[in-house]
Structure 1
Amino acid sequence: MAIREPRFLVSVDYSLSPIKAPYFSQIEFLLRIRTFLEDDNGRYREDFRQRDVQEFSVPEIVFGSNRHRNNVAQRLLEAGWLNQLSLERILGHAFSDANSIIEKEKEKKKKKYGNNMIFDDVVKIIFQVKKIVRQEYYAESEATAMELSMREEPRLVPAAKESIQALKKVKLAEGYGDNGGIECMICMEKLVQSEREVVTSMPCSHLFHGECIERWLSTSHLCPLCRFPMPTDAGTL
């Protein structure tokens, strides 16, 4: 009998907490993945060893962006979600529900404070993900993971020096760094719009500090966000 792949259930919840920085609206995001083992009778129990929680603050202009969605999608793919089309569709619904919650809270504040729009709390959006696996699938996956862990680590391939030197240097658009800015996802420092701020753009359009992405590509030819492959000395992989 074929072993069923894991199935995933996603729900959106939220909570409110006192704001940490009263001068601008802030959104917090929590991705909580919990694994449940299902027996032959359809009953399942949580496996507390397989709990994955990712929590971080997200500036309002970043929440639901392609970068944010890609980050969440990557974590779920790593957790074993195999159907990428269904993942994109379900995440689309989840982010739509999350944005509705955020807009609802904004309306409440507007009614309470008028045009002053005082934000006295943080909206934490919570993606609750249940990963349900058959016990025999889990046992097989655990054995496979053990086997892979004993193999030699794959060798990282750096990008060709010419391709690194050819990366575009761009200035950030006006307002790009407002409301907390957007981070370089290598050093986690902000990319701030200014007359002198020049950043490096990958062919996939992801932006980084020049020194950060050059150092990264000297080790790995893959974009750290979407794994876009840069040319290598051995050819384009």
Structure 2
Amino acid sequence: MAIRQPRFQVSVDYSLSLIKAPYFSRIEFLLHIRTFLEDDNGRFRQDFRQEDVQEFSVYPEIVFGSGRHRNNVAQRLLEAGWLDQLSLERILDHAFSDANSIIEKEKEKKKKKYGNNKIFDNVVKIIFQVKKFVRREYYAEPAAMAMELSMREEPRLVPAAKESIQALKKVKLAEGYGDNDGIECMICMEKLVKSEREVVTSMPCSHLFHGECIERWLSTSHLCPLCRFPMPTDAGTL
């Protein structure tokens, strides 16, 4: 019996974050992936044995939906088992278009309420709700499935060991580093340092990030977001 790829359904939702910030200076983003398995009656039920994949990020408004952001979302979905990259690109076109429509709609509401005044207000959290439907045929031939997965280059998300995260070096950079030359934390896209007192976190591969950003990243993926350097995991270094 031939293996059938999982079917995905993507919807776009949003909420207003309770965190106060300059209105729309940043966009919060949540990618939420849930798996549904076909039962013996041919109905799909959520598989609670598989932990939901949730990835939370914060982007400046001008970065939300950019090539780097979009590529990161595509990467997560490919790792979740989305095999048809052409259909993935089409779905992401619609999803980010819907998301930007939501953002513009909320902007108009704010403008009607406050005019052109710069008001500190709640920020928009865009949520990509992804349902992954897996049919019995997908697991019908374990050997063939294992071969197919082994041919794919992208690894599954595996968090780094907590001890390895805690052992990351804290670095105090020279005054002006990353301030005027545009160097950014490549996770949140904010400036890496804003003052000489700023302390950042260094990966073993020497890439630098904000401490909170890289710790949150490594709690989901053990790979450096820039060079894919592998951090130790609870199952050993992969």
Q: CA deviation at 1:172?
A: 17
Q: 1:156 to 1:226 in 2, by over 3 A?
A: same
Any idea what SS the aligned residue of 2:214 has? helix
User: Which deviates more from structure 2 when the two are superposed, residues 111-120 or residues 93-102?
Assistant: 111-120
Q: Is the 8 A contact 1:25 1:119 kept in 2?
A: no
Q: 1:165 to 1:150 in 2, by over 3 A?
A: closer
2:93, 2:39 → 1: CA distance?
31
Q: 1:206 to 1:116 in 2, by over 3 A?
A: farther
Q: CA deviation at 1:3?
A: 2.6
1:232, 1:94 → 2: CA distance?
33
Q: CA deviation at 1:15?
A: 0.8
Q: Is the 8 A contact 1:24 1:179 kept in 2?
A: no
Q: Is the 8 A contact 2:164 2:231 kept in 1?
A: yes
Q: RMSD across aligned C-alpha pairs, in angstroms?
A: 8.4
Q: 1:103 to 1:206 in 2, by over 3 A?
A: farther
Q: CA deviation at 1:231?
A: 25
Q: 1:154 to 1:196 in 2, by over 3 A?
A: same
**Which is higher, the Rg of structure 1 or of structure 2?**
1
Q: CA deviation at 1:20?
A: 3.5
Q: CA deviation at 1:92?
A: 1.0
Any idea what SS the aligned residue of 1:232 has? coil
Identity of matched residues, % = 92
Q: 1:143 to 1:57 in 2, by over 3 A?
A: same
Q: CA deviation at 1:69?
A: 0.5
What is the TM-score normalised by the length of structure 2? Answer: 0.62
Any idea what SS the aligned residue of 2:20 has? coil
1:220, 1:17 → 2: CA distance?
25
1:128, 1:233 → 2: CA distance?
29
Q: CA deviation at 1:124?
A: 0.8
Any idea what SS the aligned residue of 2:12 has? strand
User: Which deviates more from structure 2 when the two are superposed, residues 182-191 or residues 217-226?
Assistant: 217-226
2:37, 2:57 → 1: CA distance?
31
Q: CA deviation at 1:120?
A: 1.2
Q: CA deviation at 1:4?
A: 1.5
Q: CA deviation at 1:209?
A: 12
Q: CA deviation at 1:39?
A: 3.9
**Structure 1 unpaired stretches of 5+:** none
Number of residue-to-residue matches in the alignment: 237
**Structure 2 unpaired stretches of 5+:** none
Q: Is the 8 A contact 2:178 2:184 kept in 1?
A: no
What is the TM-score normalised by the length of structure 1? Answer: 0.62
Q: CA deviation at 1:135?
A: 2.5
Q: CA deviation at 1:234?
A: 29
Q: 1:161 to 1:48 in 2, by over 3 A?
A: closer
Q: 1:18 to 1:78 in 2, by over 3 A?
A: same
User: Which deviates more from structure 2 when the two are superposed, residues 159-168 or residues 182-191?
Assistant: 159-168
